[in-house]
Amino acid sequence: MNHATDEALAQVDPEIFRLIEAENRREHESLRLIASENYASRAVMEATGSCLTNKYSEGYAKKRYYEGQAVIDEVEELAIARLKALFGATAHGSVDDIHVNVQPYSGSPANLAVYLAFLNAGDTVMGLGLAAGGHLTHGHNVSISGRYFNSVPYGVRRDDHRIDVDEVRRLAKEHRPKLLWCGTTAYPRTLDFKAFREIADEVGAILAVDIAHIAGLVAAGVHPSPVGIADVVTSTTHKTLRGPRGGMILCKKEHAAKIDRAVFPGVQGGPHNHTTAAIAVAAHEASTPAFKEYAKAIVENAKALGEALAARGFSLVTGGTDNHLLLVDLTNKTIPGKVASKALDQANIVLNYNAVPFDPRKPFDPSGIRLGTPSVTSRKMGKDVMVKLADWMEYVVAAPEEKARIEKVAAEVRELCDGYPAPGLRV
């Protein structure tokens, strides 16, 4: 007689099994345009669901607090070596100068570790303001990063909505931050890492670059790399990198000890070994020529979608994109972002409502929407689909209250998706 732990999920917990199947179906039959989402491969998901989830491994390779770590050490060392090789190929300087930590549970804990490594409570930090496209963990006042540290946000210009490097320099000279963030969560343009390096050097700040959104693009060489320029580079391991829900930190070797101590025991306990293994798999996949073509196609699709939307009267923040995402101001469409995103969701077009620079509306009911092309590109959808997508969006946004219109688009999207199997899903 089998124990419950040896039985399939459907028998042990049919409710959770049903919900997972429902999500599996939803991910198959919708156009997923959340800029921070993607499809992990079956190999990545198998590693995530492996027996490695059973093992507790506080410490680092060869320096653990528990016994029985021989295999775990090899897994972690392999993940580190693969990431070092992957991002070392894009680095400014020698790969030997790069230190990698793969233990952060995700991007936010990775950023918190950076604060702990270099700052004391009350020290000054600068980052792109949330309303201008920055991230909560770069000093926003609802985050621990804005409550425990003196946060000075910088912004974008009113005329073109691009980061105002002159303002960054002026604020840095005035406030002398100990930590300067360069990183975004809703910014569609290339980041000038060298300009931020110069500013950090002028004021004696640590330069931290958060590439959570663009890590896959950086790894593939379709976005400039900050590795070797910044003191510290943080990232998630999903999004464009297409790995598991995890985090990583790459830093100059001179900061290795501080970063490692800040991650463990500073902000977390034992690493999630199953995630570490999946990160290693993702890094292996990202080293292939196919991944480089995929990353290139992400940007091409984003540009094509942006052009198609602009041709249909949608207002693009900064006028377009250089990376994987688009930020659309719906003010001229006389529809709030929240209303549009909910109507599009019902039509199987999944994106998020989002504030736009200098937005007169409240953050929970903003003027814009944010969308990205990583997931649809992973399904091998191309520019022709981006044009069709723009048609659907125009049709739904024009009359978001019309059920028949939404149901028509939803059915057409399902039919389209049947022809483009998603990596990792079993339908």
- Tell me the catalytic residues: 56, 58, 210, 236, 239, 245
130 labelled binding-site residue:
yes
The alpha carbon of 156 is separated from its chain's Cα centroid by a whole number of angstroms, namely: 21
The token pair at 48 is 């995530």
Partnered with residue 124 across adjacent β-strands are: 150
- Contacts for 60-65 with beta carbons within 8 Å, 24 or more apart? 60/103, 60/260, 60/264
In angstroms, the CA 417 to CA 255 distance is: 46
Whether 407 and 394 have beta carbons less than 8 Å apart is answered as no
248 in helix, strand or coil? strand
175 labelled binding-site residue:
no
Burial class for 70, CB neighbours closer than 10 Å (0-12, 13-18, 19+):
exposed
Whether 100 and 232 have beta carbons less than 8 Å apart is answered as no
The token pair at 310 is 């602009």
The alpha carbon of 420 is separated from its chain's Cα centroid by a whole number of angstroms, namely: 23
Strands (E), 267-343: 315-316, 325-329
217 labelled binding-site residue:
no
- Residue positions forming the annotated binding site for (6S)-5,6,7,8-tetrahydrofolate: 130, 134-136
- Residue positions forming the annotated binding site: 130, 134-136
